[in-house]
Amino acid sequence: MFLLLADNVNAAGCTLLEPEALKKAIENKSIYEMIIFDVRPRYTPDSKRRFDIETNMKRIPSSLWAPREKIELDLVGKVEELIDKNVILVGENTESAESVCRFMMKKDYGIRNIYVLKGGMEKWDGPVKEDITKVECEMITSRELMNMMKSGKNVEIIDKRSDDEYHEGHIPSAVLQPGEIRQPSLKYLIRKREWRIKRARENATIVYVYENEVQAMLDCKYEKYFTHPAWYPHGEEIAKKNIYVLRGGMRVWEGEVKRDYLEILKKRVKGRLK
C-alpha cells in the first residue's frame, strides 16, 4: 500500500508512515482505501476544548475523530467495519499516536495494518480540511429538482422529516432518514464514511428535504465538510455541487406525492391498541 514508510517498526508492531506517503495517497485519490483516525484528545490537560468542528482545528481530509477513550468504548472484539482495513493513526506527535497504536495492537479488531503518521499534526504540512465557516450550501426550488430528476442524473432524495410527516406525503423516490445521531459511535462514523465514498464515486447528487431550513443548511454544511473531494471522479468541481436542500420542503413541492396509507394505518392501529 505505502512505499514511503519510516525506517523502523516499534516493538508493538506499529509501523511509522512518512508524511510524503500520505500526501501521495491524498493526491492520487487512494485515500478512500484507508481509514484515518485522528487520535488527539478533545480537551487539553486543563479541560479546555480544542477538538471540535467549531474550533477549526487543523485536520487531515477524510480523518475521523477517534481518541483512545472513544476507541475503547466503541470498538469491542472484531469490528466488521475495520476487518482487513489499513488504519492510520494521527496524533499531535509521533509518540501520542504510538501509545494508541500499542493499545490497539493488543485487541483483535481484524485490522490488516496499523500505521502511525510520523511527526503527527505538529509536523504535517500537507492538505487539511477547509474551515467549516467557508463551506457553502445551496437551496434549489421544486422546479429545479424536478428538472434534475428528469435529466437522468443520479439523484438521491433524503427526507429528514419525522416518520409521520414522511408517510403522510413524500416524493416517491425519497428515502426516509429522520434526524442524525448527535453523538455517533465510531462504528457509525465509519459506516457513514463508506456511504459518502460510495455516493461520491457514483457521482450522486444529494437533495435533502426538511421542514426547518435553518437546520437543513447547517446539516448540509456538515455533510459537505465531511465529504472529501478526492472521492469524486472529477474532484473539487463536482464535489462543490453535490449536495442541496429543497427550498420550502414538501410545502412547495409541485411534483408527484406518494402517501404510504398502509404505514399510516398500521400506526393508527398500534396507537389504539396502546
d(CA 15, CA 1): 12
Q: What is the pLDDT of residue 3?
A: 46
Cα distance between residue 250 and residue 28, in whole Å: 41
Q: Listing from the earlier edge strand, what are the strands of the sheet with 15-17?
A: 5-9, 15-17, 113-117, 86-90, 34-38, 63-65
C-alpha–C-alpha distance, residues 116 and 114, integer Å: 7
Nearest Cα to Cα of residue 114 among 105, 127, 103, 124 = 105
Q: Where are the chain's structural domains?
A: 5-123, 132-269
Contact between residue 222 and residue 196 where contact means Cβ atoms under 8 Å apart: no
The CA-based diameter of the chain, rounded to the nearest angstrom, is 69
Query: In the structure grid, which three cell numbers stand for residue 198, read together?
Result: 460510495
Class of domain 5-123 as given by CATH:
alpha beta
Residue 171: exposed, middle, or buried by beta-carbon count in 10 A (0-12, 13-18, 19+)?
buried
Task: Return phi, psi of residue 147, to 5°.
Answer: -65, -40
Whole-number Å distance between alpha carbons of 233 and 243: 16
Query: Pairing state of beta strands 34-38 and 86-90?
Result: parallel
- For 29-68, give the DSSP string: TGGGGEEEEE---SB-TTS-B--SGGGT----TTEEE--H
The pLDDT, as a whole number, for residue 239 is: 54
Q: What is the pLDDT of residue 142?
A: 96
Q: Would you say the CATH fold of 132-269 matches that of 5-123?
A: yes
Instruction: Say if CB 207 and CB 158 are below 8 A apart.
Output: yes
DSSP state at residue 162: -
Per-residue pLDDT at 232: 75
Cα(88)–Cα(59) distance, integer angstroms: 13
Tens place of pLDDT per residue across the chain (274 aa): 554 455 454 445 689 999 999 999 888 878 778 899 999 987 666 655 555 555 567 889 889 989 999 999 998 888 888 888 899 999 999 999 999 999 999 888 888 899 999 999 999 999 988 888 888 889 999 999 999 999 988 999 999 998 889 988 999 999 998 876 667 888 888 998 888 888 888 888 999 999 888 888 888 888 888 887 777 776 655 555 689 999 999 999 999 999 987 877 777 677 666 6
pLDDT at 235: 60
pLDDT at 175: 93
The set of cell numbers assigned to 106 is: 493488543
Q: Do strands 5-9 and 15-17 pair parallel, antiparallel, or not at all (unpaired)?
A: antiparallel
Fold (topology level) of 132-269: Oxidized Rhodanese; domain 1 (3.40.250)
Cα–Cα distance between 90 and 124 in angstroms, integer?
10
H or E stretch at 201:
helix 186-201
DSSP state of 87: E
